[in-house]
Amino acid sequence: MNIAVFASGRGTNFAAIIRAIKKGKIKAELRLLVCDNPAAAALSKAKRAGVRIALVKRQDYPGKKEFEAAILRYLEEEKIDLIVLAGFMRMLSPELVAEFRNKIINIHPALLPSFKGSSAIKDAFDYGVKVTGVTVHFVDENMDSGPIILQQAVGIKESDTLESLEKKIHKVEHKLYPQAIRLYVEGKLKIEGRKVVVSRH
């Protein structure tokens, strides 16, 4: 199975996926990093790991359709079976989602459906909840709303700062995302309506 990771920033989840594949925990080929930000630290991680880079900048294209058409060409060239979003700061169009129906997964730093959006850790911290967490889910046409694959709770202590909470969330992400990808690669995820059924056999 061929995987493409989409990232716009530091690429810490991307690095966790690279490690899991190297250790044989995920039996798949990491064929492509799709990145829209030339300053992203994920790019150097891809170079070190020998992963092909598709640097596709939105400003180089007249519209979203042309931008995504360029991405699709890379995906076709590498015969990508699964798209893994790891801090990709753009909503995918309904057309691209339809093209890869149930073949795109995302990680979100909160227990969906709570705290959707790009500032989920801060929103949960500011709201004062005692428990937040991490969600891995399939991507549909709406933001942070696809069927949930795995979730793990993270407690918020009185002594936690936003920075310490971010560290705790990222630590969980780096374990949970490779687990979810492994389940997908091994054919252990089945979508029934809005629910994902995980086979442990």
Q: What is the CATH number of the domain that holds 180?
A: 3.40.50.170
Tens digits of residue pLDDT in 108-165? 999 999 999 999 999 999 999 999 999 999 999 999 999 999 999 999 999 999 999 9
Q: Which of 108, 137, 174, 201 is catalytic?
A: 108
What pLDDT was estimated at residue 136? 98
C-alpha dihedral sign at 90, 93, 97, 99: negative
Is 170 a known active-site residue?
A: no
Domain end, chosen from 100, 124, 146, is at 100
2 and 88 together in one domain = yes
The whole domain housing 112 covers 106-201
8 and 53 together in one domain = yes
81 and 116 together in one domain = no
**pTM for the predicted model, two decimal places:** 0.96
What is the token pair recorded at 109?
Answer: 């730093």
124 and 69 together in one domain = no
Burial 121-160 (b: 16+ CB within 10 A, else e): bebbbeeebeebbbbbbbbbeeebebbbbbbeebebeeee
150 and 67 together in one domain = no
92 and 146 together in one domain = no
73 and 118 together in one domain = no
Answer yes or no: are the C-beta atoms of 156 and 195 closer than 8 Å.
no
Length of the chain: 201
Band (pLDDT 50/70/90 cuts) for residue 13 is: very high
Q: In this prediction, what percent of the chain has a pLDDT beyond 90?
A: 98
Domain end, chosen from 67, 83, 100, is at 100
52 and 134 together in one domain = no
What pLDDT was estimated at residue 146? 95
Neighbours of 48 (CB within 10 A): 10
Tens digits of residue pLDDT in 62-71? 999 999 999 9
Strand pairing of 104-108 and 82-85? parallel
61 and 131 together in one domain = no
Band (pLDDT 50/70/90 cuts) for residue 200 is: confident
Count of the separate structural domains present in the chain: 2
91 and 36 together in one domain = yes
5 and 49 together in one domain = yes
Domain end, chosen from 100, 125, 150, is at 100
10 and 91 together in one domain = yes
